[in-house]
Amino acid sequence: MMNVVDPWGEVLLDMNLDYPSIRTVDIDLDRIDKVREKMPIIQHRRHDLYTLMSPTVIIVGIDDKSEEKIRWGQIEITTSQIFFRSTLTMGLVNKKPVVAGHVLLSPIRCVERFCQLNPEEINDLFQCTQLIAGKIEEYYQAKSLSIAIQDGEYAGQTVKHVHVHILPRKPVDFEENDTIYHELAHHDKRKQGWRQEKEMADEAKILRKLFYPDT
């Protein structure tokens, strides 16, 4: 008996026969490559036995051609909004930025609260935060950065997916410095100021050049 099974476990051909036979099956090699890239091996590991703490950020390419929909908390985003990807983290542009260059970083795995991240995700998320924050500060010619996580409803979190806010800061961008925390808590509750997908995609393309210079 012989079966043909794809990497995701789907049986493509079942040779449940007790006599000699020949059969053929079409195999989509492109689909196999995509499935293998998305196999959640990280989530399947036992963290008490295996750890993959990387001392450096491993940058992964972004494929816009697939127009893939990605679950981000309770909403969906597209790859066109993503400007950075590592093995465990993605960087995306903001639909309603508080200041120019206000970007977001999230674990790729959909996790609502910070305490639910595994050690590898925490390690990668903050290494990516350090890398991206430096690039954003330089690109927007800022003098400082505000970096924040709104962890839970009463902290102002509206998207149920852990994310880090990176905001480039300039002199007197706010009359009172603490005003930025009020803006973070309320900016996405106002009706005006929401950006269109094309504007977000255009910004993502510009920011990608900071991390993918050959694209």
Tell me: pLDDT of 161 over 70: yes
Residue 131 belongs to some domain of the structure: yes
> Can you tell me the distance from the alpha carbon of 134 to that of 144, in angstroms, rounded to the nearest whole number?
10
Give the mean pLDDT of 2-16: 76
What percentage of the chain exceeds 90 in pLDDT? 47
Nearest partner of 161 among 86, 89, 81, judged by Cα: 89
pLDDT digits (tens, 9 = 90+) for 102-135: 999 999 999 999 999 998 999 999 999 999 999 9
Task: Indicate the number of domains in the chain.
Answer: 2
Give the closest residue to 163 by CA, choosing from 205, 114, 204: 114
Q: Are residues 25 and 74 in the same domain?
A: no
Average pLDDT over residues 198-206: 94
State whether 107 and 14 are in the same domain: no
Range of the domain at 16: 2-39
29 with 74, same domain: the answer is: no
Q: Give the residue numbers marked as catalytic.
A: 163
| Pair 86, 27 in one domain | no
Residue 114 vs residues 50, 153, 172: alpha-carbon distances, Å: 21, 12, 31
- The verdict on 93 and 162 lying in the same domain is yes
Does residue 57 fall inside a structural domain?
no
pLDDT band at 23 (very low <50, low <70, confident <90, very high): confident
Domain assignment present for 108: yes
Same domain, 31 and 74: no
Residue 51 near residue 88, CB atoms below 8 Å = no
Same domain, 77 and 166: yes
Q: Is the predicted pLDDT of residue 141 greater than 70, yes or no? A: yes
Residues 155 and 92 in one domain: yes
Give which of 122, 123, 124, 166 is closest to 148, Cα–Cα: 166
pLDDT at 21 > cutoff 80: no
The whole-number pLDDT of residue 66 equals 65
Q: How far apart are the first and last CA of the chain?
A: 48
172 pLDDT above the threshold of 80? yes
Look at residue 196 and tell me whether its pLDDT is greater than 70.
Answer: yes
For residues 28 and 76, membership in a common domain is answered with no
Integer Cα distance of 74 and 137 in angstroms: 30
